[in-house]
Structure 1
Amino acid sequence: MFSYPTVKVSFIFLGIALLGLLAADIAITASSPWRDLGNFFLGVVTPNFFSTEGLLTALLRTVAFAFVGVALGSLAGFGLALIYRFLPVRIFCAFIRAIHELFWALIFLQFFGFHPLTGVLAIAIPYSGIFAKVYSEILDEADPEPRRLLPPGTGVISAFLYARIPDCWAQIRTYTAYRLECGMRSSAILGFVGLPTLGFYLESSFSQGLYSDAGAMLILFYVLIATIPLWVRPRLLPLYVLAAPFFLGDGLPIVWGNVKRFFTEDIVPSPIRDGEGLGGLMPWLGDLFATEALPGIWNTVVLTQIALVATGILALLTFPLISNHFGGPVRRTAGHVFLVIARSTPEYILAYILLQLWGPSMLPAVVALALHNGAIIGHLIGRQTNTIMLRSDAIEGFNRYTWELVPRIYRSFLAFLFYRWEIIMRETAILGILGIYTLGFYVDSAIQNIQFDRAMVLILITAMLNIGVDALGRFIRRKLALQTMPTC
C-alpha cells in the first residue's frame, strides 16, 4: 500500500529527473529519423539470414563466450561467497562488479589484443563479484533447521554439503540460469569492441545500412534467448561448458611483455612516469577532473536519474500487458512477446540502433535504458499481480489499475527500481563509448589517444560512483522497509 515515505521519495526522484531534463541534451538530430526508423522496421520484417558469411560462427562464439565466462564467474563467485562476510572481500567484489564488462574488455584489449581470453575475462571478472554477492545472500537465508538435525560431531564441510546446499540449490540454480541469459547479452555486445561475437556483425550491417541483415541478427538473438529453457538442460550443461572453449576462436599469441609494460608503465600517471613526482601529479589530476571527470560524472548522473524515472513510468504502464486482471489471452500473449523482446535486447545494442536512426543525443540512451529495464520490472510486477486475488465485485478498468493493483504492488515496484538503480548507472557510463558524453566517452577517448593512465583513473571514478549509488539504493530500501533482494 502507499505510505507517506514512499510517496515522498517517489516525488523527490521525479523532481530530480525533471530538473535533469532541463540540463540534458534530449533531441532528435538526424535529418530523416522516421524514414530511417521505418527502413529499420522493414528490415526486421524482411530479414536476410543468408547474406553475412560467418554469422553462424558469430552466434556460436556468442554462446561460447557466455558459457565460459559465466562458468568461471560462478565458480569464483561461489568461492568468494563463502568468505563474503569479511569486509575486504565485500569491498573487492563491489569494485570488480562496479566496472562494466565493456570497460574490462577495453582494458584487456590493450595487452591481450583480440584474444579469446579478453572476452572470457571481461565477463568472468564482473560476474564473479555479482555471483559472490547473490550467492552469499542466498546462503545466509538458508533454513538453519536441517543443520540442527545432523548427528553430533558432523564436520563443517559435511554440514555445508548435506544441509545447507540442498536447501539453497534451487535458488542458486535459478539465479545462475538467469545470469547465463545476462551472459549472452554481455557476450553479444563484446562484438562492439572488435571481438567476433554477434555485436561485431550487427555494427557492420548498420554502418552499411543493411537493415535486413541487422534484422536477421536481432531475430536470431531473440530466438537464442527465448529458447534457452529448451536447450539449456541440467544434464547437458557439463557438455556445453566442456565444449565451449573449443568454439572461442583463435587469437594472436599473448605477448607477456605487453602485459608487464601495461601494469608497470602504461597505467602509471604520466607525471610519476616522467619523474616529476607528486609535485606534478596534483596539476595532472586537477586537469583530468576539470576537463573530463566532472563533466562525465555530471552527464552520467543526469542521464541515470532521467532513465531511472523513465524506467519506473514504463514499468507501471506495461505490467498490465501480462496481468491476468486485464484483457484476454491474446492481449496477454502479445504483451509477453513485447516484454520479452524489450528485456532481451541489451541496452547497448538498442542505444546503438537508436543513435544511428535519431542522431547523437541523450534521447536514444534514455529510451534504450527505460525500455530494457522497464520491461524487466514490468514483467516481474505483472507476474506478482497474478498472485493477487480480487473480489468478484471488484471495480473494472482504469479504476482497478489505480485503486486495486498499483497500491498493492507499489512497494515491490520501488524495491525492484532501486535494486536496478546501480545497474542503470553502469549501463549509462558505458553508453559513452557510443558518443554520449558520459564517463564512458572520456574513458574511450583516453584509450584511443593511448592515455591509459587517464583512462584507468576515469574507470576507477566510474566504479566508485557505481558503488556509491548501490549503497544509497540499499540505504533507501532499508529506510523504506522494502524487500532488499527481489527475486529475479
Structure 2
Amino acid sequence: MPFMSAYPTVRVSLLFLAIAIGCAFFADLSITAANPWKDLGNFFLGLVTPDFFSYQGLATALLRTVAFAFVGVALGSVFGFLLALAFKWTAVRVFCSVIRSVHELFWALIFLQFFGFHPLTGVLAIAIPYCGIFAKVYSEILDEVDPEPSRALPRGTGVVSSYLYARIPQCWEQIKTYTAYRLECGLRSSAVLGFVGLPTLGFYLESSFAQGLYSEAGAMLILFYLLIATIPLWLRRQTLPFYLAAAPFCLGDGFPIVWGNVSRFFTEDIIPAPLRQGDGWAGLADWFADIAVTEALPGIWNTLLLTQMALVLTGLITLLVFPLISRQFGNRPTRVGGHVFLVILRSTPEYMLAYILLQIWGPSMLPAVVALALHNGGIIGHLVGRQSSSIGLRPDAARGLSRYGFEIVPRVYRSFLALLFYRWEIIMRETAILGILGIHTLGFFVDSAIQNIQFDRALILIGVTALLNIGIDKLSRFIRGRLALQTLPTC
C-alpha cells in the first residue's frame, strides 16, 4: 500500500527527470574559460584571505543594502496586507499575479528609465513585486484560520474589524515569521540591485570582480553572509521601529528625478513604434510578429530549458544536503558545519552566484543552472532537514544509507516535492532575469531592447515573461493538487 500510494509522486519525479535530461541535449553547458580551475582557486583564496579594509565605502554599501531592503519590504508588506483583505476578488488576484511575476531587476530597469539613479527606483523595484507576494501568502495564511471567532462578533462588524479582532490574532506568529523571512529575501534583492547601478553591495562586488580583486570581493561576501546569519541577533521587536524610522534617511540622495522623462516614457517611449510612426495596424502586426519570432520564442525556449534543468538539479541537491543538518544523521559538530554550509548556499542570491560562476567558467547556461540549483537546494534542504529532525524512529531503526533510503526519504518526500514545485515559479523568475548576464533567456532580450532604447519592445517581452511565470505557477498548483501535496507546506 505505501508503494502504491507513492507511485504517482515517483512517476511525476521520473517524468521531470527525463525532461531535464532531454533539455540538457539542447542546452549550451560548455565551460569556455581558459583556466577555470585557476580562477575558481583564486576566488576561494579571496574568500579565505578577505581584505576588509581595502575599500572605504564597504560600510556605506552594506548600510544602503539594508536600508533599501527595510523600506521596500515595509511598503510591500503594508500594501500586500491591504490587498490580502480583498484577495477573493478576481481582479485583485490577477493584479497581484502580474506584479509578483515580474522580477525586481526588471522593475528596476523600468524605473531607471524615468526615475534614473534615484532611491525611489530601488525602493519601488522591491516593494511592487513583494506587495504581490505578500498579498498572496497573507491571504493563504488568513484563509487557514478558524472561522468560528469571526462568527461570534456582533452583527454588522466590518471586514477590517473582523480581521483585526478575530483572524489576525490567530495567525499573528505565522505572519510575523513569514515577514521576517521576506526581509531576508529583501536583503538579497537589495544587494542584487547593485548590478544595475544602484549603490548597494552588488555594485561594488561587480566592480571588485571586474578588477580581479578577489580578496576585496571575498570580504564583501563574508560580511553579507554575516548580515544574513545574524538577523535574529540584530533584528528584535524593540529595535524594529528604530530601523524602520532610520532606513529612509540611509538610502542616499542619488540624482534628481527629471519629471519630463517620466511624462515622455508614458506618452511616447512605451507606445509601439508602428503607432508612433503612423504605420497603422498592418505595421503593428508585422512588428509583433518580428518580436515573437526573433526574440520572444527563442527567449521562452531558453528560459524553459534552463528552468527545467535547474529545477531537477535543485531537487537532487536537496536530497544530498538535507542530511547535513538532520538529527537523524551525523553528530553535533557535523550538523553545525552543515548549517553554516546551507546558510551560505541560501544566502547567496542566484544572480550574484551566477555572475561569479560566469567569471570563472565563461558564458553558457551551466553557471546559471548551478547557481539556481545551489541557492534553491540550500533553501529546500534547510526546510526538509528541519522536518526530518522531528521524525520519531524505533530504537532498532536502520542507520546510515539504509536509514536515509528506507526510513527518512519516504517520509519527507511528499513535503520535499511540495516545496520543490512551490519554488518552480520562483526559479522561472530568476531564470528569466539571468539573461542580463548574457545568457539568452528572456532577460537577455529585455536588456538588449532597453540598451537600444526600445522600451516598447522591452515592455512586450517583460509581459511575455510575466505570462510565462503565471503559467508555470498555475501548472505547479495543478500538479500539487493532483498529487494532493500541500499548497503551502508547513515545514
The answer to whether the superposition gives a TM-score over 0.5 is yes
For residue 268 of structure 1, what is the aligned residue in structure 2? 271
**CA-based RMSD:** 1.1
Q: Is it true that 1:405 corresponds to 2:388 in the alignment? A: no
d(CA) in 1 for partners of 2:255, 2:162: 47
CA distance in 2, matches of 1:480, 1:79: 32
Q: 1:281 to 1:158 in 2, by over 3 A?
A: closer
Match of 1:463?
Answer: 466
Whole-angstrom CA distance in 2 between matches of 1:63 and 1:452: 30
What are the equivalent positions in structure 2 for 1:11-50 lying under 5 Å apart? 11-50=14-53
- Please report how far the alpha carbon of residue 154 of structure 1 lies from its aligned counterpart in structure 2 after TM superposition: 4.9
User: Which residue number in structure 2 is paired with residue 189 of structure 1?
Assistant: 192
In 2, Cα distance between equivalents of 1:444 and 1:275: 26
> Match for 2:149 among 119, 143, 146?
146
The corresponding residue for 2:102 is 99
2:259 to 252, 256, 264: 256
Give the match's secondary structure for 1:27. Answer: coil
- Distance, in Å, in 1 between the alignment partners of 2:357 and 2:383 is 26
CA distance 1:60–1:419, shift in 2 (3 Å)? same
Of residues 446, 449, 461, the one that matches 1:443 is: 446
What is the DSSP-based 3-state SS (H/G/I as helix, E as strand, rest coil) of the residue aligned with 1:250? coil
Structure 1 segments of 4 or more deviating over 6 A?
none
Q: For 1:50, what is the secondary structure of its paired residue?
A: coil
Deviation at 1:156? 4.3
What amino acid is the match of 2:469? N
Give the counterpart letter for 1:250 in structure 2.
D
Using the TM superposition, give the Cα deviation of residue 153 of structure 1 relative to its aligned residue in structure 2, in angstroms.
Answer: 6.0
Equivalence for 1:174: 177
- Residues 1:283 and 2:286 are matched in the alignment: yes
Alignment of 1:198-217 (within 5 A): 198-217=201-220
CA displacement 1:123-157 (0-9 Å, x = unmatched): 00000000000001111111123234445665544
Match of 1:478 among 460, 477, 481: 481
Q: Within 2, Cα distance between the matches of 1:251 and 1:209?
A: 27
Deviation at 1:251, TM superposition (A): 1.8
1:158 aligned onto 2:161: yes
Q: Secondary structure at the match of 1:111?
A: coil
Equivalent in 310, 316, 321 of residue 318 of structure 1: 321
Question: Secondary structure, in 3 states, of the residue corresponding to 1:53?
Answer: coil
Task: Report the Cα offset of residue 327 of structure 1.
Answer: 0.9
Aligned pairs for 1:2-151 (under 5 A) are 3-150=6-153
Who is 1:396 aligned against?
399
Shift in Å, 1:388: 0.5
Q: Does 1:384 align with 2:394?
A: no
Cα deviation digits, residues 270-303 of structure 1 (max 9, x gap): 0011111111011111111111111100000000
Cα shift readout 1:297-351 (whole Å, capped 9, x = no counterpart): 0000000000000000000111111111111111111111100100000000000
1:143 and 1:288, CA in 2 relative to 1: closer, same or farther beyond 3 A? Answer: same
CA distance in 2 between partners of 1:155 and 1:203 (Å): 51
Q: Please report the TM-score for the alignment, with normalisation by the length of structure 1.
A: 0.98
Supply the distance in 1 between the matched residues of 2:154 and 2:368 (Cα, whole angstroms): 57
Structure 2 partner of 1:224: 227
SS at match of 2:174: helix
**Secondary structure of 1:128 counterpart:** helix
Cα separation, 2, equivalents of 1:145 and 1:465: 39
Task: Note the C-alpha offset of 1:8.
Answer: 1.0
Structure 1 unaligned residues grouped into runs of 5+? none
Deviates more, 1:275-284 or 1:458-467: 275-284
Deviation of 1:214 after TM superposition, in Å, equals: 0.1
**Secondary structure at 2:113 match in 1:** helix
CA distance in 1, matches of 2:113, 2:162: 45
Q: Which amino acid aligns with 1:407?
A: P
Determine the structure 1 residue equivalent to 2:457: 454
Query: Using the alignment, how far apart are the partners of 2:430 and 2:157 within structure 1?
Result: 46
Residue 49 of structure 1 aligns to a residue whose secondary structure is coil
158-167 or 15-24, which deviates more: 158-167
Percent identity between the two aligned chains: 75
